[in-house]
Structure 1
Amino acid sequence: HAGLYQALAMFAVAYFIIGMTVLSVCAIATNGALDAGGAYYMISRALGPEFGGSIGIMFFLANVCGSALYVLGLVEAVVDSFGIQPGQEAGTGVHVLPQSYWYELLYGTVLLALCLLVCLVGASIYAKATFLIFLIVAAVLGTILVSFFATRPLKVPIRLPNGNGTETDNGSFTGFSLSTLRDNLGGEERLLPPACRAHWHCHFTWGLLEGGGSWWAQSRCCGVVSPVGCVWGHGGEGLWWGCATLDSLSRLLSVPASLLCLAGQALALAKKTSASGNPVMAVILSWLVVQLVLFSGKLNTIASVVTIFFLLVYATVNLACLALEWASAPNFRPTFRYFTWHTCLLGIAGCCVMMFLISPVSASASLGFLLLLLLALHYLSPSSTWGYISQALIFHQVRKYLLMLDVRKDHVKFWRPQMLLMVQNPRGSARLIDFVNDLKKSGLYVLGHVELQDLDMLPSDPLQPQQDSWLSLVDKLNVKAFVSLTLAPSVRHGVRQLLFTSGLGGMRPNTLVLGFYDDEAPQDGLARHPAFTSAREEVPLGFPPLRAATTPKLLSAREYVGIVADALKMLRNVLLARQLESLDKAWELRRAASPPPTIHVWPVNLLRPDSARYADTCSLFLLQMACVLNMARAWRRARLRLFLCVEAGTMPHAQEEKLRQLLKDLRIQAQIQLVPWDAITRLHWQTCQGPSGGPAEEEEEEEGVVNFPTNTTQVSDEYVRAANKLVLEQSPAPAVRFLYLPRPPADTSLYPLYLHQLELLTRGLGPTVLVHGVSAVTSTQL
């Protein structure tokens, strides 16, 4: 009833969709060896288990509904030919079959049982049945061609759907007639349902996805000729019977194949096969599902579901080919080259448009069902060894954008911390790793480790076996970090290597984070970490046990301070973290106490009170890092408290107002607390000796390197302990403290004394971060 123009248009759209899909399937199929499973196998191996599993389930359901569709179609053709005419109580002649819902369900069940028997016997009898049905179809097709010339004009009764029932209309067979052709160009207003019309043009691609040329040819013959045969008369019904039987058999045979492939990952029951390899349990399960679908009894409803599901499968096949083409992997080199990414896109667009033209509601529901399956399989499916196309696509895009990331275009407005955290043994640094993850603020985060070995003395690289343990650690701790391991003769040389080589392009570490060098025995933080104490899953980690308190360290105090000096010479900011393993972030940030936790910030060099300034590069970097921590989601409840050290006679309120204006310009919300420290500064060596006022020192202060000279020897332990007490007395106790890290002395022989002063300054303070910045990181302009 569509008319010749609309029929040709539908054929053109259908063949366009299948043509684009054929190109994609040929490209994927000629890129490697295929196995059973059809579209599921191709999609799962190309797009990964999530897409493959979800499409495999929909492919299974589409074939189940398709098998039921052809059984119902065959029942309808048989009832039309041999059923008792409506309005008659008894049959006459060949019309002896009763007609009702339950009788038609009985006929369908019997036909499906015959198909089940063929499938249980195996594929060999199916091949014989296929050839027999092909002979019947060919003979009937020949009679149809002869009937064009031998049959006189006649009236042909046609059953058309009408709501939940059917009605009979009369069609006219006139033979070759120009007037009939003209009348049929535009068609009539009463048309077949769109799903039924579209299904005739889409379902024959089944054979294509199975890889069988004979199945494809027979299904295509059915899809094109069957509608015409129904209009031409009862002679065409033989063709419909043959094709419907063939399609039902082919789908019922292929449904277990898809189910068997899916069962390889999930269902143990469906994997049972006979001695000849026939998936008996999969066949029986598929037969049960098809039998349930037969209870619907509505041909048009099933046709809509089958068509949309198959179109979704075809669209995903095109998507798989498109992803492989866009990934530009060297191993994707199919022998079939007559495709481009344009044909894949056109195939996807054609399938999606046709889905929504058939039924917008059903198409939307199918896409929603597909997304639910994707999410479920993403979180529930185990890892596979098939490869993930998403990784290839991500690599392709990241490489492209990394090349576009030009370090010459960096601007302080868009600065972000890019951390390199050096870890000797993750067992003693679990909370430090988590803390630095909060501190990175969407920047680069690299976990660095130095293995003290000589590659010349080893048969192979010892770092490769450790890589999996480090990556598992990153996954379990749920930190967004890369891992960088290196071999070196000393820790200092290894850190230099990582500072030079870590990162890529414009993504390179600009801040070095080290644990503090002290005599405390390390504690196994992984043993107490919630990610590793869960009984649900245990991840074997190849990290060695922590060193005992009496075991000598791998690096000396001089080498440790030398690492800090090297980083500053390389214009890297430095953070030294002490007692971060005692920071219970979950308790600190979620405790029920009314005052929120605080972060104490001391942006002044406590070892040089005469150089106390709040606007130098180091102090501003310290303020920035404290603010970045406060911006992290887990630390937003915390409050910044900034301590302003003042002396008598220096107009403290003016200093406070100046600092408040600076915080306002930097958009940092913090509480300012004045701290008198006259009693502390009296203990400083310069106060005792009086100000030198020499021109060299004034010039040094102007250049901002006041903490570099050899005045380390002039700072007494008494003064450092007093400064430590001053910091410790500020209540309430904070969750973490940020202190100013002085620059190491130029004389390397003073490195142990420098480290001793830092240890005295931070003793007993709890979680403390010493910060030294060498680059501008704040901006007050748009």
Structure 2
Amino acid sequence: MNKEKLMEKRFGTFSGVFLPTFLTIIGVIFYLRFGWVVGNAGVMGALGIVVLAHVITVSTALSMASITTNMEVEGGGAYFLISRSLGLEIGGSIGIPLYLSQVISVSLYILGFIESVKLIFPDVNTTILSVVITIIIGIVSAIGADLAVKMQYGIFALIIMSLGTILVSGDYSQVPVALGSYADSGNFWMTFAVFFPAVTGILAGVSMSGDLRDPRRNIPTGTFYAIGVTFLIYTLAIFWFAFNIPMEELINDKLVLISRTRFPIFIIGGVWAATLSSALGSMISAPRTMQALARDSVLPKFLGRGSGKSDEPRIATLLSFAVAFVFIIMVNLDFVAPVITMFFLNTYGAINMVAALEILVGNPSFRPTFKTHWIISLVGALGSYSVMFLINSTATVICLAFTLMIYLYISKKNISRAWGDLRDGILVSIIRMCLLKLRFNEKQEKNWKPDILVFSGTPESRGNLVYLAEHFSKGRGIITLVRFIFGQIENKKKEVAEARENLNTFLRERKLNAFSEVVVGEDMGETLTETVQVSGIGLLKPNTVLMGMTKKAHKIKPMMEFMRKISYLNKNLLVFSSSNSSAAFGRKESIDIWWGGLRNNGNLMLNMAHLMTLNDDWKGAKIRILSITCEGERVEERKTILEEMLEKQRIDAEVVVIPVEGSIEETIGRISHNSDLVLMGLGLPEKGHEEDYYGKLIKLSEGLKSVLFVKGKVS
């Protein structure tokens, strides 16, 4: 068990989740911008903005609750939830922008604090003040989360006092304006864009996941309470502003709460407490996200080191402090701020998408104790991405492009992971749906491609069979390598495991897009036949069997019997024979087809030859159609018929008609002894004459480099 799992869990629902979430939501927007929102939108417009924003945050919270109650949650917050569901690549591509948005948010909150100080004390040196505040927050967060949480109790008390001051102030003499004119903001969506960052604080609690006593209970409970309480506060604030302050004053005076309340000192304290607590919360959250990314090898490992009994991410904290300091001093945040909001929304969208997909895929392992409907999660996902574009389309494009670049970078790193993820379940569900959709369809000739079952044995020793399968398939068909082990299945467990690993290693090393299977049976003939019958599913059943000629006497009869039985299974059969396995295909310049008629395997032989020439190493290879005439047949007439057939088949080949001289075997050997691949039709061995037929095949292939006997399925 790693150090992260052994670390002391210090915080519960209130201190670890509710408090940081509440303090981040009741922040700088509430004190310095919410009056402006009400002034522009009016009561109904402001209510619409608050409700719409909370539709997204509530659906995200519900999705988050569903995910967290289905797994053992460790450090890393939202990154951990996404990476363990959608995989390391997607988790990292969202986790890195999330970390950046958290650490740059420190700069935003501190600058919000500086703005409020500047409005009250115009002569203050904001540069010195920002440096001092940043250093103090950096020191507090570096000491540890314990001190930060203790400070947040005091900040929470100040905010409660400021809210009480607002409630008891005002004369409630104004007539509320139901619908605003958006005189300063321009329209509803621009006003919404100003307000929405206020509710992006719902990840503040989940970011403390590694420090919580019971994350599966603390995260959903604390987040829901924080959202509910802050929603009530914002709703009441709308009516307070509308009944107490004229719309023009709300729009023009950012410090209206200070000037229009009875105890302005508490409002000032609330403003400062809210901005600094949000900065502190982000400075605590960001290093923990970085620590989790580093421990998964997405970022350099040293950044994941923890200090002390509580595993504090002090290295990550120091680096986060440096990044925040640079942004405060050097960067124009007018452009960066909307991008940060996009990163948060991108994370919200991903969390909702994870929950929706988990429910829709229906993996039996997804058993959350808190259940939600997939429609709610889908609404949250669509809402998150829609709001991104409505707020700032340019910033959205930058955010998504940045996310894609990180995804491609992590994918190239090929980081190994010890957990499964949702992607396999999604793919299986898609495959299942497609197969069921097509389950009653027959594969049409127009869509035919060779789906090949290769009796490969130990594939290193039968590389020519794999080579042929690759070239016939050319990345379009499905290849399955099968190794047979004969004997009692209960005695073959170790041998099967070794054979399976050998096949998988072969596929990985060759980078071959194929499947593999190990089949155990006691009788060779029956095992071969049963394997062909049960392989595949639906339209993905193999339509072609590729095997080699055996050189072992005891296998000749069962192999010939299998060749006879396969004619009843509606499969094509390809049997390969080579005189020199190490140089089986020569220069790959010529292919001969010994013609026995279009219906008599000819069509399949033409297809196989054509597929071979589509590969780079056989490109330009010359195909010859070779036909033997009997006595009395007209050579030119036979040649014309074959050429017309080739024109209809749209295959470029040379027709050669050969008068018979001596035996057929002698004629074939004389004409094709230099050809790189020879295709011949395959008949069926008569029962009781299997060895005789095997001898005939051996005789036909004598003197030839490589022979492929072809038996098309019976129509």
Percent identity between matched residues is 22
d(CA) in 1 for partners of 2:506, 2:699: 33
| Aligned-pair CA distance for 1:491 | 3.1
Give distance in 2, aligned partners of 1:765 and 1:51.
54
Q: Which residue of 2 aligns with 1:564?
A: 563
Pair 1:134 & 2:192 matched: no
Aligned to 1:164: none
Instruction: Give me the whole-angstrom Cα distance separating, in 2, the residues matched to 1:176 and 1:184.
Output: 18
In structure 2, what is the Cα distance between the partners aligned to 1:62 and 1:141?
28
Q: 1:723 aligns with which of 668, 674, 682?
A: 668
The aligned counterpart of 1:232 is 257
State the match for 1:3 in structure 2.
Answer: 41
1:617 to 585, 600, 625: 600
Q: 1:576 maps to what in 2?
A: 575
- Aligned ranges 1:510-549 → 2 under 5 Å: 510-518=543-551
Provide the C-alpha distance between the structure 1 equivalents of 2:103 and 2:553, rounded to a whole number of angstroms. 66
Distance 1:364 1:139 in 2: 42
SS of the equivalent of 2:471 reads: helix
Amino acid at match of 1:497: E
Report SS of the residue matched to 1:556: helix
Q: What is the match of residue 712 of structure 2? A: 773
Give the residue type in structure 1 aligned to 2:344: F
Q: Secondary structure at the match of 1:576?
A: strand
Q: Does residue 322 of the first structure (1) align with residue 360 of the second (2)?
A: no
Indicate if the aligned counterparts of 2:185 and 2:191 stay in contact, CA closer than 8 A: no
Distance 1:407 1:664, change over 3 A: farther
- 1:288 equivalent to 2:322? Answer yes
- Distance (whole Å) between structure 2 residues aligned to residue 300 and residue 237 of structure 1: 24
1:95-143 CA-partner distances (Å, limit 9, x unpaired): xx23xxxxx3432222121111111211111111010111121222222
The SS at the match of 1:177 is coil
The match for 1:70 is 109
Q: CA deviation at 1:41?
A: 0.8
Asked if structure 2 preserves the Cα contact closer than 8 Å seen for 1:656 and 1:672, the reply is: no
Superposition map of 1:308-347 within 5 A: 308-337=342-371, 339-347=372-380
SS at match of 2:624: strand
| Equivalent position SS for 2:536 | coil
CA-CA distance at 1:183 after TM superposition? 9.2
Q: 1 CA distance for matches of 2:682 and 2:222?
A: 79
Which residues in structure 2 correspond to 1:596-745 (within 5 Å)?
Answer: 597-604=589-596, 614-631=597-614, 635-646=618-629, 649-667=632-650, 669-679=651-661, 683-684=662-663, 720-728=665-673, 733-734=675-676, 736-745=677-686
For 2:85, the equivalent position in structure 1 comes to: 46
- Is the counterpart of residue 34 in structure 1 residue 31 in structure 2? no
The one-letter code of the counterpart of 2:315 is M
TM-score (structure 2 length as normaliser)? 0.82
Cα separation, 1, equivalents of 2:498 and 2:173: 78
d(CA) in 2 for partners of 1:493 and 1:323?
43
The runs of 5 or more residues in structure 1 that have no matched partner are: 85-96, 99-103, 150-174, 519-552, 590-596, 605-613, 685-718, 777-782
Task: State the Cα distance separating 1:61 from its structure 2 match.
Answer: 1.0
Tell me how far apart the structure 2 counterparts of residues 344 and 319 of structure 1 sit (CA, whole Å).
7
Cα shift at 1:474: 2.1
Do structure 1's residue 188 and structure 2's residue 183 form an aligned pair? yes
- Looking at structure 1, the residues matched to 648 and 593 of structure 2 have their Cα atoms a distance apart, in angstroms, of 18
Superposed CA RMSD: 3.0
Distance 1:490 1:391, change over 3 A: same
Contact 1:72 1:299 in 2 (8 A): no
Structure 2 gap segments, 5+ residues each: 1-35, 208-217, 242-249
> Do the aligned partners of 1:744 and 1:754 also contact (CA within 8 Å) in 2?
yes
Q: What is the 5 A alignment of 1:351-430?
A: 351-406=384-439, 409-430=442-463
Counterpart of 1:435, as a letter, is L
Q: Is the 8 A contact 1:134 1:218 kept in 2?
A: no
Give 1:436 shift.
0.4
Q: Secondary structure at the match of 1:182?
A: coil
Residue 30 of structure 2 corresponds to none
Give the structure 2 partner of residue 264 of structure 1. Answer: 295
Match of 1:451, SS state, is strand
2: CA distance between counterparts of 1:763 and 1:285? 74
| Alpha carbons 2:600, 2:681 under 8 Å: kept | no
Take 1:215 and 1:336, find their aligned partners in 2: how far apart are those partners?
A: 13
- Which structure is higher in RCO with an 8 Å CA cutoff and minimum separation 6? 2
CA deviations on 1:719-761 (whole Å, 9 max, x unpaired) are 52442122225xxx44x3322223323333xx33432332232
Following superposition, the deviation at residue 343 of structure 1 comes to 1.3
Structure-2 change in CA distance of 1:26 and 1:451 (3 Å): same
- CA distance change for structure 1 residues 349 and 516 in 2, over 3 Å: closer, same or farther? same
Give the structure 1 partner of residue 283 of structure 2: 252
Distance 2:557 2:66 in 1: 62
How is 1:404-553 mapped onto 2 (pairs within 5 angstroms)? 404-406=437-439, 409-440=442-473, 442-457=476-491, 460=493, 462-518=495-551, 553=552
The answer as to whether partners of 1:646 and 1:674 remain within 8 angstroms in 2 is no
Q: 1:473 to 1:118 in 2, by over 3 A?
A: same
1:250 and 1:410 mapped to 2: Cα distance?
60
Classify 1:554/1:25 alpha carbon distance in 2 versus 1 (closer, same or farther; 3 Å): farther
Task: State which drifts further: 273-282 or 765-774.
Answer: 765-774
* Structure 2 residue identity aligned to 1:603: W
Which has the higher Rg, Structure 1 or Structure 2?
Answer: 1
Work out the CA distance in 1 between the residues paired with 2:222 and 2:275: 15
3-state SS of 2:477 partner:
coil
CA contact (8 A) 2:573 2:710 kept: yes
Q: CA deviation at 1:262?
A: 0.4
Query: Does residue 758 in structure 1 map to residue 697 in structure 2?
Result: yes
For the residues of structure 1 that align with 2:421 and 2:131, how far apart are their CA atoms? 42
CA 1:67–1:430 in 2, change beyond 3 Å: closer, same or farther?
Answer: farther
Contact persistence 1:617–1:774 (CA under 8 A): no
Asked if structure 2 preserves the Cα contact closer than 8 Å seen for 1:515 and 1:577, the reply is yes
Structure 1 equivalent of residue 9 of structure 2: none
Q: 1:120 corresponds to which residue?
A: 142
CA contact (8 A) 1:417 1:444 kept: yes
- Whose helix proportion is higher, 1 or 2? 2
Q: Show the counterpart of 2:6.
A: none
SS at match of 1:61: helix
Report what 2:199 is aligned to: 202
The aligned counterpart of 1:747 is: 688
Deviation at 1:511, TM superposition (A): 2.0
CA contact (8 A) 1:451 1:486 kept: yes
